[in-house]
Chain A
Amino acid sequence: MKCGTCSGSCPSGRVVAFRTRALVEARATGTIDYDDPSLWYCTTCYTCMERCPRSIDITDEILHIREEAYRLGKVLEPHKAVLTYIWKTGHAVPINDAVREKRVRLGLSEEPPTTHRHADALAVVRALMEEEGVTNE
């Protein structure tokens, strides 16, 4: 069955040549090209997965393909940076001085009550990352 409901439902497929159906097929036949940048075009909106008449968990499959790409070291530089931020601060998007000032003006604590203010919690985040072999390096 090659109905193409997935490709037809894909928001990325409307702006770039991303064919979800081809990716699902490559997954099934073991012919994935991990250098293909289109692996990273999926916004994980789940529309294809919700609409698939064969109930294939398409978005989940795409995420598994990406995990394999990551293990092969084939990731985009900006994504590596996100990982670095989490390692350094516990946040994918850490605070900065301008926002510290804005928080104070709003009557909020200068830094949120997160890993930004709890070094012990950040140490646990890092320990969990290390255990999985995912570090800043």
Chain B
Amino acid sequence: MSELAFFLGCIIPNRMPEIEKAARLSAERLGITLSDMGGASCCPAPGVMKSFDQTLWLKLAARNLSIAEAMGCDIVTLCNGCYGTLKDASMELREDPALCASVCEALRPKGYDLAVVPDVYHFVEYLYHTYGVDALRERVTTPLSYKVAVHYGCHLLKPTKYRQGASSERPTFFDELVEVTGATSIPYAEKASCCGAGGGVRSGLKDISLAMAQKKVDSIKGADCIVTPCPFCHMQLEQVADIPVLHYVQLLALSLGVQPGEMGLEVLP
């Protein structure tokens, strides 16, 4: 059984706890232990914090990484924003030992250290690369028949200098994970487009942000639902879409036999 430090972030525990519940129930059925990271904070939000003060962005991220290090676990998260911050920070700290040393110097008097920088995974990346699609398929008890518009979101894939994939153009791994549940990933014109929420645009300039989401959603034809790996993209697309939006772990949980009511899903698409 694998144990991972479960980084919750902000939107999932504080706005969309249904996703947290779906993840905990799914992990249980997959034999993955998600251990809580006591005292974790905001990742911090890359759009705002990275735009304001990158030294502070790195230190706050390093404190979160340090919690996992003390647990002796690698980190898994369900949010592309948290993933972007924690993954990018972990890579910057590994690439630059002097930088890592100066960050540790700030953290150590406060009771945190980072002798080893833990690996950071998005949950879908962990499922695909570590758990494996075939192992996942064996656990599916309730194959689904939805037609799904798959949305990857940007920070799951980019910047590629800090990601597993060599290119961010036309990826397929997340479609494969969606199809393992029995669902069908349908093509649509704006599949690769940004939802418009990131970079502080949703919080700062909402009309512009939603115009981007609208363009994307308008190109989806014939889907039963949209599936994303990110609660921020999820909130954004939900605001303009006339079909349901699900986080991947909610789709996965349904295929693993979790009842909708157990995880706060009120209406099935």
| Contact surface of A with B, Cβ cutoff 8 Å | 11-12, 14-16, 37, 40-47, 49-50, 59, 63-64, 66-67, 70, 75-76, 78-79, 81-83, 86, 90-96, 99, 102-103, 105-108, 112-118, 120-122, 124-125, 127-129, 131-132, 134
Any A CB within 8 A of the CB of B63:
yes
Q: Among A76, A117, A120, A121, which residue has its beta carbon within 8 angstroms of that of B200?
A: A76
Asked whether A106 lies within 8 Å of B264 as measured between CB atoms, the reply is: yes
Any A CB within 8 A of the CB of B170:
no
Segment from B6-14, B93-101, B116-124, B126-134 that makes contact with A: B6-14
Asked whether B215 lies within 8 Å of A15 as measured between CB atoms, the reply is: yes
Whole-angstrom CA separation of A35 from B97 in the bound complex = 37
| Contact surface of B with A, Cβ cutoff 8 Å | 8, 10-11, 13-15, 17-18, 20-21, 24, 36-42, 44-56, 59-60, 63, 106, 110-112, 154-155, 158-160, 167-169, 193-194, 196-201, 203-205, 208-209, 211-212, 215, 263-264
Asked whether B264 lies within 8 Å of A102 as measured between CB atoms, the reply is: yes
**Can you list 26 A-B pairs with a CB-CB distance of less than 8 A?**
A15-B208, A15-B211, A37-B205, A42-B201, A43-B199, A43-B212, A44-B198, A45-B158, A50-B159, A59-B159, A76-B200, A76-B204, A78-B204, A86-B42, A95-B13, A105-B264, A106-B20, A113-B36, A114-B13, A114-B39, A114-B41, A116-B14, A121-B40, A128-B56, A128-B60, A132-B53
Asked whether B193 lies within 8 Å of A75 as measured between CB atoms, the reply is: no
Inside 8 A of A114's CB, which chain B residues have their CB? 8, 13, 37, 39-41
Inside 8 A of B56's CB, which chain A residues have their CB? 128-129, 132, 134
CB distance from B228 to the nearest CB of A (A): 14
Asked whether B159 lies within 8 Å of A67 as measured between CB atoms, the reply is: no
Asked whether A43 lies within 8 Å of B52 as measured between CB atoms, the reply is: no
Whole-angstrom CA separation of A113 from B67 in the bound complex = 12
Inside 8 A of A91's CB, which chain B residues have their CB? 10, 14, 41-42
CB distance from B164 to the nearest CB of A (A): 15
Inside 8 A of A63's CB, which chain B residues have their CB? 50-51, 54
Inside 8 A of B205's CB, which chain A residues have their CB? 37, 40-41, 76
Q: Among B21, B60, B211, which residue has its beta carbon within 8 angstroms of that of A125?
A: B60
Asked whether B38 lies within 8 Å of A93 as measured between CB atoms, the reply is: no
Asked whether B158 lies within 8 Å of A47 as measured between CB atoms, the reply is: yes
